[in-house]
């Protein structure tokens, strides 16, 4: 059966105001696909595409697109020249009639203003039309290019309404004639355009959701970060400004708890709470303040596992992987709305709590999260001490019931041997052992600081894990130790999965490795095999499975590079991080200051065409680089 093809995003214009987003072509048009397949372009709210077509024209002419600009308030302006009117009425070849279309998106609302401007010396009467295609298509169907889900449209008092998956849509178009055209809605204005004048019309779509699964966070503008100092790279300021704005657009909360704000993982595919992604984004952006860390910790603690449920992967103390509106069907598997299939979110939750506490999170806030901490530590130690366990934190492929791989590289083919063979069985990823070690040490510090028992046992547990890792994980291709590196993982038979990957960089700064081992890892992650010059490759170019546009076997993910940079700095190896920092700065310039989720590992700015942008942990990479540059005090 052919693999469903995910729609491409690289050439689309996106506007994001969580939980609402709008995507269009570069000319502002949203044109439904000819074969009826769902596409991400259109108006999207909380994982549902509500408008799959938005096409503007003047006297039937969409115009010739000539310009697009982004306004500081987040609105996009699309400019087209109306050459048919020029041909009929102009006495020169110069463009004399144009359409400026301004689109704005805020949580729960999209609006457009259309201005037809003429410098002709004659009066005109023109018809401005916007053709809308109502939809109710879940994002899971979009990702597999399944057919658009039609909706029943209501027509009352000049307003057009429909509902989809609990979301109510109301389209208003003042002074327009509203016409039904099959499944489409046509908004028409017949306007007089005197010589050398302009005419303005507009419309809006308001979205209401009585029972949301995520809600918009209260508005909050970050203070502009002042970048001063003669030695600061000039590429840093615009990148950081764009990234901070993108992070602000991804702010969400759970219903009933609007003050506990977290970052949605990314637009358009992961526009919700994700355990791993939201935790890393909060952790890497701690220099911007403690509110996101506090909100992320609390939101995930509310959803922390209480029971055993093989279908969802829930276990007592476990932090969830993701929260969705409905079941998410992708390829050959289905994820339930609240899904726990992640091996690393639980230790990362513990690490964030510790880091936030060290950064100044008030003791009262920490005390309120101590029951969650103890439950998470209980899950952590139970996994490695279960009957038949070998002391490592592992996951088992869930087959059709969930994700095959449950670390951050969670695609089916992500865990590979250097010769290309796929690893099988209960997988122990190398970086997860580092997270587990750091979580145990961090948890011990928190327990002791708040007069809770168990700190000494956790330190012993961590020391044992470090020794086991040293004995089992290291690959030594030359037999002399000089080129030794940690394996990507151990497979279900205990064999080292010997691909050289970026995962090893996540170990630096966790405490799992000694200084000599950290230096060895630092040499590998900055070697030509892994360092693309635009960030860290997920897999070495020397390994057989490497492909520059493979999702997890050769591409570059900026958060991955930023985590390694941050770890090198924390380990006192900041100088070794410089090539990776320079790569991120070069990538930021190449991608117009908005780093996508991932790009090609070939060392050229080639986008991965289905990558999210903005992506929270990608934007967080700018904060890591700025912190290293001393912007936040070192």
The pLDDT, as a whole number, for residue 93 is 81
Measured between alpha carbons, how far is residue 299 from residues 220, 258, 279, 318, 339 in Å?
18, 10, 11, 13, 14
How far is the C-alpha of 229 from the C-alpha of 535, rounded, in Å?
A: 25
**Residue 561 CB contacts under 8 Å (≥ 6 apart), including other chains:** 502, 535, 536, 580, 583, 584, 621
**Boundary residue ending a domain (193, 208, 223):** 208
110 domain residue, yes or no: yes
The residue from 157, 173, 208 where one domain ends is 208
Query: Angle at CA 276, nearest 5°, toward 275 and 279?
Result: 80
Question: Does position 145 have pLDDT exceeding 90, yes or no?
Answer: no
Q: At what angle do helices 616-628 and 558-570 cross, to 10 degrees?
A: 30
Q: Residue 155 pLDDT > 70, yes or no? A: yes
Output DSSP code: residue 545. Answer: T
Residue 634 lies in a domain: no
CA distance 398 to 624: 34
Asked if residue 401 has pLDDT above 80, the reply is: no
The pTM (predicted TM-score) of the whole model is 0.96
The answer to whether residues 235 and 198 belong to one domain is no
Q: How far apart are CA 161 and CA 291, in angstroms?
A: 37
User: Mean pLDDT over residues 362-383, rounded?
Assistant: 97
Whole-number Å distance between alpha carbons of 397 and 46: 29
Region 37-51: mean pLDDT is: 93
Alpha helices in 191-322 (DSSP H): 236-249, 275-284, 291-302
Contact between 392 and 468 (Cβ < 8 Å): yes
Task: Check whether 230 has a pLDDT greater than 60.
Answer: no
pLDDT of residue 156: 79
Cβ contacts of 188 within 8 Å, gap of 6 or more:
127, 128, 129, 176, 177, 178, 179
Q: Average pLDDT, stretch 382-397?
A: 86
* pLDDT tens-digit map of 559-583: 999 999 999 999 999 999 999 999 9
Residue 400 has pLDDT above 60, yes or no: no
Sequence-distant (6+) residues with CB within 8 A of 255 are 211, 212, 213, 214, 215
Are 195 and 299 within one domain? no
Single out the residue in 208, 236, 266 at which a domain terminates: 208
Secondary structure of 551-610 in HEC code, one letter for each residue: CCCCCECHHHHHHHHHHHHHCCCHHHHHHHHHHHHHHHHHCCCCCCCCECCCCCCCECCC
Q: Are residues 329 and 289 in the same domain?
A: yes
Distances in whole angstroms, Cα of residue 133 to Cα of each of 108, 159, 185:
18, 15, 6
278 and 306 in a single domain? The answer is: yes
When the pLDDT of each residue in the chain is averaged and rounded to a whole number, the result is 94
Q: E-assigned strands of 59-123?
A: 64-70, 76-81, 97-106, 109-118
Please answer whether residues 508 and 573 qualify as being in contact, where contact means their C-beta atoms are separated by less than 8 angstroms.
yes
Question: pLDDT at residue 473 above 90?
Answer: yes
pLDDT score for 159:
82
CATH code assigned at 415: 1.50.10.10
SS3 262: strand
pLDDT of residue 52: 96
Higher-confidence position of 609 and 146: 609
* pLDDT beyond 90 at 591: yes
Task: Check pLDDT > 70 for residue 311.
Answer: yes
358 and 492 housed in the same domain: yes
Number of domains in the chain: 2
Which two structure tokens, joined as six digits, stand for 422?
């796929």
pLDDT tens-digit profile of 166-184? 999 999 999 999 999 999 9
**What confidence score (pLDDT) does residue 227 get?**
66
Name the token pair of 75. Answer: 């609105």
Question: What is the Cα 93 distance to its own chain's centre?
Answer: 46
Phi, psi of 58 (to 5 degrees): -125, 120
Please, which pLDDT band fits residue 222 given cuts at 50, 70 and 90? low
Answer yes or no: are the C-beta atoms of 489 and 395 closer than 8 Å: no
What is the torsional sign of CA 313, 317, 320, 324? positive
Q: 241 and 201, same structural domain?
A: no
Q: Which of 277-281, 476-480, 603-607 has the lowest mean pLDDT?
A: 476-480
Same domain for 237 and 186: no
Q: Do residue 200 and residue 262 come from a single domain?
A: no
Give the pLDDT score at 90: 77
Q: How far is CA 75 from the centre of its chain?
A: 21
Three-state SS for 121-190 is CCCEEEEEEEEEEEEEEEHHHHHCCCECCCCCCEEECCEEEEEECCEEEEEECCCCEEEEECCEEEEEEE
The pLDDT of residue 514 is above 70: yes
- For the chain, the residue count is 634
Question: CA angle, corner 123, sides to 117 and 128, nearest 5?
Answer: 50
Task: Provide the β-strand partners of residue 481.
Answer: none
Cβ neighbours of residue 404 closer than 8 Å, sequence gap 6 or more: 333, 397, 398, 410, 412
What pLDDT, on a 0 to 100 scale, did the predictor assign at position 330? 73
Q: Do 316 and 400 lie in a common domain?
A: yes
Percent of the chain exceeding pLDDT 70 equals: 97
Name the token pair of 231: 């030695």
Q: Which domain holds residue 414?
A: 215-628
CATH number of the domain to which 202 belongs = 2.70.98.40
Which whole-number Å values give the CA distances from 489 to 104, 247, 512, in the listed order?
A: 46, 32, 15
Q: What percent of the chain clears pLDDT 90, i.e. is strictly above it?
A: 86
Alpha helices in 317-359 (DSSP H): 345-358
Query: What are the helix and strand counts (H, E) for the chain?
Result: 13, 28
Distance from first CA to last CA of the chain, Å, rounded? 53
Instruction: Look at residue 114 and tell me if it is in a domain.
Output: yes
Q: Does residue 92 form part of some domain?
A: yes
Is pLDDT above 60 for 341? Answer: yes
pLDDT at 397: 66
Same domain, 235 and 158: no
């Amino acid at each position: 059966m052919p693999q469903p093809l995910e729609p491409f995003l690289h050439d689309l214009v996106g506007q994001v105001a969580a939980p609402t987003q709008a995507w269009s072509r570069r000319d502002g048009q949203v044109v439904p696909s000819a074969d009826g397949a769902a596409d991400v372009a259109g108006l999207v709210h909380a994982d549902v595409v509500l408008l799959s077509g938005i096409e503007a024209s003047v006297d039937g002419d969409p115009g010739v697109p000539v310009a697009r600009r982004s306004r500081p308030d987040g609105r996009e302006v699309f400019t087209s020249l109306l050459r048919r009117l020029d041909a009929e009425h102009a006495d020169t070849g110069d463009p004399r009639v144009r359409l400026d279309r301004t689109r704005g998106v805020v949580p729960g609302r999209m609006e457009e203003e259309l201005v037809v401007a003429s410098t002709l010396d004659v009066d005109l009467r023109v018809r401005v039309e916007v053709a809308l295609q109502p939809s109710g298509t879940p994002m899971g169907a979009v990702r597999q290019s399944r057919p658009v889900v039609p909706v029943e449209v209501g027509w009352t008092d000049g307003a057009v309404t429909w509902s989809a998956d609990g979301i109510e849509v109301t389209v208003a178009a003042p002074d327009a004639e509203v016409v039904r055209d099959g499944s489409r809605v046509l908004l028409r204005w017949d306007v007089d355009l005197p010589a050398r004048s302009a005419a303005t019309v507009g419309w809006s779509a308001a979205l209401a959701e009585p029972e949301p699964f995520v809600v918009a966070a209260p508005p909050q503008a970050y203070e502009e970060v002042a970048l001063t100092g003669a030695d600061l790279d000039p590429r840093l300021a615009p990148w950081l400004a764009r990234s901070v704005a993108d992070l602000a657009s991804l702010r969400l909360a759970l219903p009933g708890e609007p003050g506990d704000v977290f970052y949605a993982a990314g637009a358009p595919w992961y526009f919700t709470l994700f355990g791993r992604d939201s935790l890393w984004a909060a952790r890497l952006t701690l220099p911007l303040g403690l509110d996101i860390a506090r909100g992320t910790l609390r939101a995930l603690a509310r959803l922390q596992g209480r029971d055993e449920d093989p279908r969802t992967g829930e276990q007592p103390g476990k932090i969830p992987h993701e929260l969705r509106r409905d079941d998410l069907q992708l390829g050959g598997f289905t994820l339930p709305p609240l899904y726990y299939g992640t091996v690393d979110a639980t230790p990362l939750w513990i690490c964030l709590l510790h880091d936030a506490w060290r950064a100044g999170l008030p003791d009262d806030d920490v005390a309120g999260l101590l029951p969650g901490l103890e439950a998470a530590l209980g899950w952590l130690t139970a996994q490695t001490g279960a009957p038949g366990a070998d002391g490592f934190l592992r996951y088992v492929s869930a087959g059709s019931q969930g994700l095959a791989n449950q670390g951050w590289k969670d695609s089916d083919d992500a865990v590979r041997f250097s010769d290309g063979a796929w690893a099988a069985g209960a997988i122990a990823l190398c970086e997860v052992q580092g997270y587990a070690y750091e979580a145990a040490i961090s948890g011990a510090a928190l327990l002791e600081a708040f007069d809770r028992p168990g700190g000494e046992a956790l330190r012993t547990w961590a020391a044992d894990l470090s020794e086991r890792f040293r004995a089992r994980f290291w690959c030594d291709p030359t037999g002399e130790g000089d080129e030794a590196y940690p394996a990507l993982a151990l497979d279900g038979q205990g064999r080292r999965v010997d691909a050289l990957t970026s995962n090893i960089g996540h170990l630096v700064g966790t405490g799992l490795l000694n200084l000599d081992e950290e230096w060895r890892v630092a040499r590998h992650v900055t070697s030509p095999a892994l360092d693309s010059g635009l960030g860290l490759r997920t897999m070495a170019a020397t390994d057989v499975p490497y492909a520059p546009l493979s999702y997890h076997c050769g591409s570059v993910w900026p958060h991955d590079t930023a985590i390694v940079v941050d770890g090198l700095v924390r380990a006192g190896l900041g100088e070794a991080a410089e090539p990776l920092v320079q790569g991120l700065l070069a990538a930021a310039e190449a991608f117009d200051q908005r780093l996508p989720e991932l790009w090609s590992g070939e060392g050229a700015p080639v986008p991965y065409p289905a990558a999210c942008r903005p992506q929270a942990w990608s934007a967080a990479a700018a904060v890591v680089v700025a912190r290293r540059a001393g912007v936040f005090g070192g």
